[in-house]
A and B are shown apart, each in its own frame.
Chain A
Amino acid sequence: DAGVIQSPRHEVTEMGQEVTLRCKPISGHNSLFWYRQTMMRGLELLIYFNNNVPIDDSGMPEDRFSAKMPNASFSTLKIQPSEPRDSAVYFCASSFWGGDGEQFFGPGTRLTVL
């Protein structure tokens, strides 16, 4: 398996633009997690899905952020409109719910909002 795949790896955009980050989890995994990492706040859990259903989105910072998982092999995290304070590395991770809880992380998307 190729592991968790994220795209794009780097994104530079201007304030006010819409940004869409994409994630393909490991085949067979039924849990998916979106994290954000900054120097100031560390690694934060934004939202996670079990069997494509959002379970906990309490970490989503505000209504500008939204996440979807239309099927077991694809998820998106959208920011609209983007702001400079959204600049961070966004990680997607997947795991098998009901297993030992090991999460496999993707390489991350480095987002810069100018």
Chain B
Amino acid sequence: DAKTTQPNSMESNEEEPVHLPCNHSTISGTDYIHWYRQLPSQGPEYVIHGLTSNVNNRMASLAIAEDRKSSTLILHRATLRDAAVYYCILRDVAGNQFYFGTGTSLTVIP
């Protein structure tokens, strides 16, 4: 299974944009890039996913490098409620299982 690499932790000021990086140098052509986050004492929740093109939704934006070896999750204005562990996951289109890495723990500073 393709692996992802993320920084262990990041900090952001409230109401500032946050760019969370993810490296996936061994990604295959059929791997989707998924982002989930886990708030304290809760199960993970879906944030966004994409294949090749950049994606936007109400929660965030996903910027995917042209060679697909890296991606960036963008929170446009961080709030205190965005403090969570963010996971970048690769999913093969033929399967639907996830293998979570260690994620990035995001701290939002008031």
Within the complex, which residue of B43, B91, B99 is in contact with A105, where a contact is CB–CB below 8 Å?
B43
Binds A, one of B9-17, B44-52, B70-78: B44-52
Cβ < 8 Å to B, chain A residues 30-83:
31, 33, 35, 42-45, 48, 50, 55-56
By a CB distance below 8 angstroms, the chain A residues around B42 are: 107-108
By a CB distance below 8 angstroms, the chain A residues around B96 are: 31, 48, 50, 95, 97, 101, 103
Q: What is the total number of residues of chain A having a CB less than 8 Å from a CB of chain B?
A: 25
Determine the distance from Cα of A7 to Cα of B98 in the docked complex, in whole angstroms. 23
Interface mask (B22-65 → A, CB under 8 Å = 1, otherwise 0): 00000000001010101000111110010000000000000000
Closest CB in chain A relative to B23 CB, distance in Å? 18
By a CB distance below 8 angstroms, the chain A residues around B87 are: 43
Q: What is the total number of residues of chain B having a CB less than 8 Å from a CB of chain A?
A: 20
Given contacts A100-B49, A101-B49, A102-B49, contact A45 B99 (CB under 8 A): yes
- B contacts, CB < 8 Å to A: 32, 34, 36, 38, 42-46, 49, 87, 91, 96-103
**A25 lies within 8 A of chain B by Cβ:** no
**A111 lies within 8 A of chain B by Cβ:** no
Q: In terms of DSSP, what is the predominant structure of the interface of chain A? A: strand
Determine the distance from Cα of A48 to Cα of B102 in the docked complex, in whole angstroms. 20
By a CB distance below 8 angstroms, the chain B residues around A55 are: 97
Chain A residue at minimum C-beta to C-beta distance from B97: A48
Determine the distance from Cα of A103 to Cα of B38 in the docked complex, in whole angstroms. 13
Decide if A105 touches B97 in the complex (CB within 8 Å).
no
Given contacts A91-B43, A100-B49, A101-B49, contact A42 B98 (CB under 8 A): no
Determine the distance from Cα of A44 to Cα of B103 in the docked complex, in whole angstroms. 13
**A93 lies within 8 A of chain B by Cβ:** yes
